[in-house]
């Protein structure tokens, strides 16, 4: 059994003292910062990224993965306890989770969320271990046209599924692609859009954009609120769900996991669409749909499992194809590149310790979250009460030192400040930043593959439509764009997110 | 129909994309354009500039027809002061050292909020600075001089 050998190998890597420690630190830091209201998962990951750069690749990725699902989980905790969704994927958790909390059942809601997430995480670890190598095998046959079409599909999907106006999201993707052009041209060495600034010769660092837009921009936006948000935390009495709770949750957890695994694997889609779909499915199949919105435990169990399953399975396209499906996965990919690893199907053969170690550590991380979070609920509740005016200077300190430590260059801070202001303006103008970041990170790869594809085909653009796999991606891209043009679908999207 | 475009968020978004596209094309034209077969350095950015112009026009027109207003409150103070605190940190790291840079960053950024209590901020500044020196300089071993010249 090759699968078992691979998993055992993965566990031997992940269970080394050092890697368990980094996994633990990642989960703890991720949850701790993710719980804080007003700090989204993107800001959390961006802020903590520079710390991981000093670690060896495997440890760095393990810690980052820990931060990633820790932040996801922390976001759900905030959603349930104070009705503040940290990001779109926990919007639906708020609906019934907060109602449960108001009825004094915050504990069982948190416990079910943790149990569902753990189940989803376990299943998805197996899915990645089983299907990762298969997908990588197919990906070895991909040439430049396939990669170009796949990236185009991922970018369009991410734009269409992001909140708000599709045309603005697509424009933001294009803007991200343009920002990715800055720096020396890979093929000819021509300096593009550098304006004779030497610091821009290697391009703009993705950490600078991420911290600027997501951490600084978010703070500026929060400071604009007229008064400090009052946080009403519900009391958490018993964390143990009743037998009835567990019985009611089993089916939603399984369905949610399946939905999340499906959407997570597709590039461009992700946790948000999974948790929405799961909620809608649970409401459909329920005997008494009127319970939803009034504290139905299925409304927490399903979406939370779907959320985590999608977050986990999002690693499949990132690790096997080198194509991230979401902004947070784009950060993961950027971290891989900084560590000197070329993303794509070769990761599995060239860095098996990284691939299998990371997969095994995901399961360990999920176990840690389950063990860590329930006993620490009290601590998270008290963290929620820290006033924002004390929090944001600390975020600024972390962000600024993190950026300075990249190149020891003050210029990076000026850039981050600029992107912070821009991030805030984009937020107010309803221009989503996540598709921009995805475009920025995929930009150089997209251009490279476009050039290569057209060189192979002697300048004939039909190459994207004559090769079957590439054609399939192109058709999918067009279909996704069409669904948005059909008003009924567009309306449903706004009714869910609104 | 009132021409109140000042708070029209789609108009401003569209204008932004349009202006960036218009600015990008002449710069990109300076680089060798090449052909579709052998793309030069200017090909891809020119293409993106054109796409941005088209999106910009489309979004502007849509904005003028739909009139969606900019939502949420603006704090001009935060928008100017907070990015400035990062700039100051950069400058001071170069010329004054870690401690002064941090102290100014914390104090300045705290001052960009609405609620500013002098003694509380002073206390936070001292605590955070001490903590950062402990974590980043002694813990993670970042090689920055605490105060330049000493």
DSSP structure string for A116-156: HHHHHHHHHHHHHHHHHHHHHHHHTT--HHHHHHHHHHHHH
Q: Nearest to residue A318, comparing CAs of A265, A363, A258?
A: A265
Q: Could you say which of B9, B32, B56 has the minimum Cβ distance to residue A430?
A: B9
The Cα A460–Cα A104 span in angstroms is 65
Cα B99 to its chain centre, rounded Å, is 24
**What mean pLDDT is predicted for residues A341-369?**
89
Which residues, 6 or more positions from B140, have their beta carbon under 8 angstroms from its beta carbon?
A51, A54
Q: Hey, which residues does A183 pair with through a beta bridge?
A: A192
pLDDT at A232: 58
Whether pLDDT at B116 is above 50:
yes
In the structure, what pLDDT confidence band is assigned to residue B114 with cuts at 50, 70 and 90? Answer: confident
Cα A351 to its chain centre, rounded Å, is 23
pLDDT at A228: 54
Which residues, 6 or more positions from A463, have their beta carbon under 8 angstroms from its beta carbon?
A145, A453, A454, A456, A457, A470
pLDDT tens, B96-107? 999 999 999 999
pLDDT at A340: 87
Q: Nearest to residue A438, comparing CAs of A269, A259, A313, A311?
A: A269
Number of structural domains found in chain A: 1
Chains A, B: CB contacts within 8 A come to 183
**What mean pLDDT is predicted for residues A405-415?**
93
**What mean pLDDT is predicted for residues A125-152?**
90
CA distance A120 to chain B (A): 35
pLDDT at A490: 46
- Burial code of A362-394, b = ≥16 C-beta within 10 A, e = fewer? bbbbbebbbebbeebbeebbebbeeebbbbbbb
- Phi/psi region, residue A83 (left: phi>0; alpha: psi -120 to 50; beta: rest), is left
The Cα A173–Cα B7 span in angstroms is 24
Q: Nearest to residue A66, comparing CAs of A45, A90, A46?
A: A45
Whether pLDDT at A498 is above 70:
no
Q: Looking at per-residue confidence, does A488 or A343 come out higher?
A: A343
Which ranges of A214-314 does DSSP label H, i.e. alpha helix?
A: 217-224, 243-265, 271-285, 298-313
Average pLDDT of chain A to the nearest whole number: 87
Q: Looking at per-residue confidence, does A6 or B17 come out higher?
A: B17
pLDDT at B3: 54
B67 touches chain A (CB under 8 A): no
Taking each helix axis as running N to C, give the angle between helix A106-139 and helix A57-82, from 0 to 180 degrees, rounded to the nearest 10. Answer: 140
The Cα A465–Cα A146 span in angstroms is 10
Whether pLDDT at A495 is above 50:
no
pLDDT at A86: 66
DSSP line for A6-18? HHHHHHHHHTSHH
In the structure, what pLDDT confidence band is assigned to residue A497 with cuts at 50, 70 and 90? Answer: very low
**What mean pLDDT is predicted for residues A458-480?**
91
Find residues 148-167 of chain A whose CB sits inside 8 Å of chain B.
165, 167
pLDDT at B37: 83
pLDDT-above-70 percentage for chain B: 96
With a cut of 0.95, is the ipTM above it?
no
pLDDT at A230: 54
pLDDT at A288: 84
A401 touches chain B (CB under 8 A): yes
In the structure, what pLDDT confidence band is assigned to residue A222 with cuts at 50, 70 and 90? Answer: confident
pLDDT at A227: 56
Average pLDDT of chain B to the nearest whole number: 88
pLDDT at A370: 86
Q: Which two tokens stand for residue A390?
A: 């004390």
**What mean pLDDT is predicted for residues A406-430?**
94
Cross-chain Cβ contact B82/A412 below 8 Å? no
Which residues, 6 or more positions from A247, have their beta carbon under 8 angstroms from its beta carbon?
none
- Burial code of A287-316, b = ≥16 C-beta within 10 A, e = fewer? eeeebbeebbbbbbbbbbbbbbbbbbbbbb
Q: Looking at per-residue confidence, does A454 or A269 come out higher?
A: A454
pLDDT at A234: 59
pLDDT tens, A283-327? 888 888 888 888 889 999 999 999 899 988 988 888 888 888 788
pLDDT at A180: 94
The Cα B58–Cα A167 span in angstroms is 8
10 Å CB burial of residue A9 (0-12, 13-18, 19+) is middle
Whether pLDDT at A229 is above 60:
no
DSSP three-state, residue B9: helix
Distances (CA, A) of A409 to A260, A413, B91: 41, 8, 10
pLDDT at A464: 93
Whether pLDDT at A496 is above 70:
no
pLDDT at A141: 87
Cross-chain Cβ contact A171/B48 below 8 Å? no
- Burial code of A54-82, b = ≥16 C-beta within 10 A, e = fewer? ebebbbbbbbbbbbbbbbbbbbbbbbbbb
pLDDT tens, A47-78? 999 989 888 999 999 999 999 988 888 888 88
pLDDT tens, B31-59? 988 888 888 899 999 999 999 999 999 99
A138 CB neighbour count, 10 Å cutoff: 13
Whether pLDDT at A333 is above 70:
yes
Q: Looking at per-residue confidence, does A87 or B94 come out higher?
A: B94
In the structure, what pLDDT confidence band is assigned to residue B1 with cuts at 50, 70 and 90? Answer: very low
**What mean pLDDT is predicted for residues A448-461?**
91
In degrees rounded to 5, what are phi and psi of residue B34?
A: 70, -160
**What mean pLDDT is predicted for residues B68-77?**
80
**Least confident piece of the model among A105-109, A142-146, A159-163, A334-338:** A159-163
B84 CB neighbour count, 10 Å cutoff: 15
Q: Could you say which of A219, A227, A413 has the minimum Cβ distance to residue B87?
A: A413
Distances (CA, A) of B123 to B82, B92, B117, B128, B130: 19, 21, 10, 8, 11
Of A34-43, A169-178, A217-226, the range with the highest mean pLDDT is A169-178
Whether pLDDT at A438 is above 50:
yes
Find residues 4-33 of chain B whose CB sits inside 8 Å of chain A.
9-10, 12-13, 16-17, 20, 24, 27-28, 31-32
Domain limits for position A370: 2-497
Give contacts of B109 with chain A, Cβ < 8 Å: 392-393, 396
Give contacts of A52 with chain B, Cβ < 8 Å: none
Q: Nearest to residue A14, comparing CAs of A70, A61, A75, A80?
A: A61
DSSP line for B41-81? TTHHHHHHHHHHHHHHHHHHHHHHHH-PBPPS---HHHHHH
Q: Could you say which of B38, B44, B94 has the minimum Cβ distance to residue A410?
A: B94
């Amino acid at each position: 059994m090759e699968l078992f050998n691979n998993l055992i190998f993965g566990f031997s890597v992940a269970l080394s003292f050092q890697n368990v420690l980094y996994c633990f630190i990642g989960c703890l830091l991720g949850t701790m910062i993710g719980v804080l209201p007003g700090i989204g998962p993107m800001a959390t990951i961006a802020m903590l990224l520079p710390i991981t750069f000093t670690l060896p690749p495997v440890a760095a990725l393990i810690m980052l993965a820990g931060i990633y699902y820790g932040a996801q989980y922390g976001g759900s905790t905030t959603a349930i306890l104070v009705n503040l969704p940290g990001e779109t994927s926990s919007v639906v958790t708020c609906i019934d989770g907060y109602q449960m909390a108001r009825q004094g059942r915050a504990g069982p809601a948190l416990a079910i969320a943790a149990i569902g997430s753990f189940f989803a995480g376990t299943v998805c670890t197996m899915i990645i271990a089983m299907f990762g190598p298969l997908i990588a095998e197919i990906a070895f046959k991909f040439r430049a046209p396939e990669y170009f079409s796949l990236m185009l599909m991922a970018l369009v999907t991410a734009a269409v599924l992001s909140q708000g106006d599709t045309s603005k999201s697509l424009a933001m993707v294009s803007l991200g692609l343009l920002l990715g052009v800055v720096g020396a041209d890979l093929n000819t060495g021509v300096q593009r859009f550098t304006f004779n600034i030497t610091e821009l010769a290697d391009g703009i660092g993705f950490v600078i954009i991420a911290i600027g837009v997501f951490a600084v921009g978010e703070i500026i936006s929060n400071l604009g609120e007229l008064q400090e948000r009052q946080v009403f935390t519900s009391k958490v009495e018993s964390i143990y769900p009743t037998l009835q709770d567990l019985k009611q949750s089993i089916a939603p957890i399984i369905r949610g996991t399946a939905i999340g695994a499906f959407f997570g694997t597709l590039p461009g889609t992700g946790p948000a669409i999974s948790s929405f779909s799961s909620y809608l499915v649970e409401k459909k199949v329920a005997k008494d749909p009127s319970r939803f919105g009034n504290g139905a435990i299925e409304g927490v169990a399903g979406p939370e499992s779907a959320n985590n399953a999608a977050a986990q399975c999002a690693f499949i396209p990132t690790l096997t194809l080198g194509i991230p499906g979401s902004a947070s996965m784009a950060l993961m990919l950027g971290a891989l590149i900084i560590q000197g690893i070329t993303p794509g199907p070769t990761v599995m053969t060239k860095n098996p310790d990284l691939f299998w170690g990371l997969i095994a550590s995901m399961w360990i991380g999920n176990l840690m979250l389950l063990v860590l979070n329930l006993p620490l609920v009290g601590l998270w509740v008290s963290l929620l009460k820290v006033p924002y005016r004390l929090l944001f200077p600390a975020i600024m300190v972390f962000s600024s030192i993190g950026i300075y430590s990249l190149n020891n260059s003050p210029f990076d801070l000026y850039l981050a400040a600029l992107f912070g202001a821009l991030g805030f303006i984009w937020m107010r103008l309803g221009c989503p930043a996540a598709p921009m970041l995805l475009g920025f990170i995929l930009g150089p790869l997209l251009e490279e593959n476009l050039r290569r594809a057209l060189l192979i085909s002697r300048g004939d653009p039909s190459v994207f439509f004559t090769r079957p796999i590439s054609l399939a991606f192109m058709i999918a891209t067009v279909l996704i764009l069409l669904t948005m043009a059909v008003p009924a679908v567009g309306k449903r999207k706004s009714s869910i997110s609104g | 129909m009132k021409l109140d475009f000042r708070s029209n968020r789609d108009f401003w978004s569209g204008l932004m994309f349009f202006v960036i596209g218009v600015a990008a094309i002449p710069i990109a034209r300076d680089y060798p354009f090449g052909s579709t077969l052998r793309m030069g350095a200017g090909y891809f950015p020119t293409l993106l500039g054109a796409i941005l112009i088209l999106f910009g026009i489309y979004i502007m027109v849509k904005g003028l027809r739909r009139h969606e207003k900019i939502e949420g409150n603006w704090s001009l103070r935060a928008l100017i002061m907070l990015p400035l605190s990062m700039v100051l940190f950069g400058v001071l790291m170069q010329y004054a050292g870690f401690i002064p840079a941090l102290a100014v960053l914390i104090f300045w950024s705290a001052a960009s909020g609405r609620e500013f209590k002098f003694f509380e901020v002073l206390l936070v500044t001292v605590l955070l600075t001490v903590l950062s020196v402990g974590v980043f300089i002694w813990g993670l071993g970042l090689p920055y001089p605490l105060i330049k010249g000493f």
